[in-house]
């Protein structure tokens, strides 16, 4: 079945530093990947849609300059939290949808998530 | 904007009980309704997906129903086991594949 790997699982960083989170589709190609975040006791919320070879689409209220998304290949999307602050501490999770007609097409496969703590 | 509510927030039951988890949504114009399981430190595992045209889906001991007109979905777990302990999320899908509106989840604990 389709598998999505997310790395790192846990990251602790100092305020003001940047953190990169990777989302990889291991056995299928993903034209589109999605990034969500979940604050404690809150719902998972869609942050942005990452399209291979084009700019990401951000949800209202999500700062595109703070959350940089790069989807340079059909198997990898990265989320970089720039100049992280304690309020950015959250659980970030990605999902991927396979290319039409391919493995995992029209089905979302989720990564295991990355817990970011900013001190 | 779609809002999804899950009741109860937490549930603790002895092994063997039959359970009902509730999910309600404000906008009936959903493409489908999906139930997920989330284990600590793990990603989301899709359990059941009900298309908007369907009324229910079954997989093993799990049965999910959907009533779009009332904005409700239920997840029924039969003969619960300790291995069922996890957080259960429901999500309504909007206009695009990744546009999922999640509830806050029901944290289930099944004790032996």
List all residues 6 or more positions away from B3 whose beta carbon is below 8 Å from its beta carbon: B25, B26, B27, B101
Show the tokens assigned to A2: 């389709």
What backbone torsions phi and psi does residue A86 show, to the nearest 5 degrees? -50, -30
User: Tens digits of per-residue pLDDT, B9-67?
Assistant: 999 999 999 999 999 999 888 889 999 999 887 788 899 999 999 999 999 999 999 99
Q: What does the DSSP assignment read for B15-65?
A: TT--EEEEEEES-S--SEEEEEEE-TTS-EEEEEEEETT-SEEEETTEEEE
User: Tens digits of per-residue pLDDT, A33-92?
Assistant: 999 999 988 889 999 999 888 889 999 999 999 999 999 888 999 999 999 999 999 999
Cα–chain-centroid distance for residue A97? 13
C-alpha–C-alpha distance, residues B46 and B81, integer Å = 18
Looking up tokens 């939290």, which residue turns up? A81
Which DSSP letter does residue A99 get? P
Shortest CB distance from A108 goes to which of B42, B97, B105?
A: B97
C-alpha–C-alpha distance, residues B15 and A87, integer Å = 39
User: Tens digits of per-residue pLDDT, B44-58?
Assistant: 889 999 999 999 999
Residues A41/A81/B40/A47 CA torsion (nearest 10 deg)? 60
CB < 8 Å to A77, chain B: none
- Cα of B43 to nearest chain A Cα, Å: 3
| Interchain CB distance below 8 Å, B43 and A110 | yes
């Amino acid at each position: 079945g389709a598998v999505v790997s997310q790395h790192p699982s846990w990251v602790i960083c100092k305020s003001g530093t940047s953190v990169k989170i990777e989302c990889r589709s291991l056995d299928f190609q993903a034209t589109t990947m999605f990034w969500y975040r979940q604050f404690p006791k809150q719902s998972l919320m869609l942050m942005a849609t990452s399209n291979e070879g084009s700019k990401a689409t951000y949800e209202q209220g999500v700062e595109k300059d703070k959350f940089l998304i790069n989807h340079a290949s059909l198997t990898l999307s990265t989320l970089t939290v720039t100049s992280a602050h304690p309020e950015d501490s959250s659980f970030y999770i990605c999902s991927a949808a396979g290319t039409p007609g391919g493995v995992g097409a029209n089905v979302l496969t989720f990564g295991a998530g990355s817990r970011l703590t900013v001190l | 904007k779609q809002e999804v509510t899950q009741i109860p927030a937490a549930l603790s039951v002895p092994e063997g009980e039959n359970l009902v988890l509730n999910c309600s949504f404000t906008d009936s114009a959903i493409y489908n309704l999906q139930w997920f399981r989330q284990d600590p430190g793990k990603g989301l595992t899709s359990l059941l997906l009900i298309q908007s045209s369907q009324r229910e889906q079954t997989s093993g001991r799990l049965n999910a129903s959907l009533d779009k007109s009332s904005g409700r979905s239920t997840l029924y777990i039969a003969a619960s086991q300790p291995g069922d302990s996890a957080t259960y999320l429901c999500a309504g899908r909007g206009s695009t594949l990744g546009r999922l509106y999640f509830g806050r989840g029901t944290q289930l604990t099944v004790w032996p």
